[in-house]
Amino acid sequence: MWIAITYRKRGEYSRSIELLENIIAINPEMWYYYHELAVSYYRKGLSHKGTGDISLSHECYRQAEDSYCILFDKMRVYHLADDYGYHYHLGVIYIEWEKYPEAIRELNYSIENNDNAKVYYFYDLGRAYYGAGQYESSSEYFKLACEKSEEKESLYLFYLALSYVYQLEKGNDAISWGETARLLEKAIFIDGYKEFYYTHLVVVYLASDRMAKAGEYMERYNRLTERKDRNHYRFLQLLLNVLYYSPDIKECRECFVRSNENNQNSMNGLVNFARHSLQAGLKSGSLHGDELKNRILELLA
Q: How far apart are CA 239 and CA 270, in angstroms?
A: 10
- Using an 8 Å Cβ cutoff, are 252 and 270 in contact? no
Those residues whose C-beta lies under 8 Å from the C-beta of residue 245, and which sit 6 or more positions away, are 281, 286, 287, 288
User: pLDDT tens digits for 67-108?
Assistant: 999 999 999 988 888 889 999 999 999 999 999 999 999 999
What is the spatial distance between Cα 188 and Cα 267, in angstroms, rounded to a whole number? 16
Pair 215, 239: CB distance under 8 Å? no
As a whole number, mean pLDDT of residues 196-202 equals 77
CA-based Rg of the chain, rounded to a whole angstrom?
A: 23
Highest mean pLDDT among 24-38, 141-155, 200-214: 24-38
pLDDT value of residue 90: 98
Positive or negative CA dihedral for 31, 33, 35, 41? Answer: negative
Rounded Cα–Cα distance for residues 159 and 166 (Å): 11
For the cut 50, the answer to whether the pLDDT of residue 241 exceeds it is no
With b meaning 16 or more CB within 10 Å and e meaning fewer, what string describes 132-151? bebbebbbbbbbbbbeebee
Q: How far apart are CA 82 and CA 6, in angstroms?
A: 27
pLDDT at 40 over 90: yes
Higher pLDDT, 257 or 140: 140
Phi then psi dihedrals of residue 193, to 5 deg: -85, 110
What is residue 279's predicted lDDT score, i.e. its pLDDT? 56
Flag whether pLDDT at 196 surpasses 60. Answer: yes
Query: So what's the pLDDT on residue 264?
Result: 46
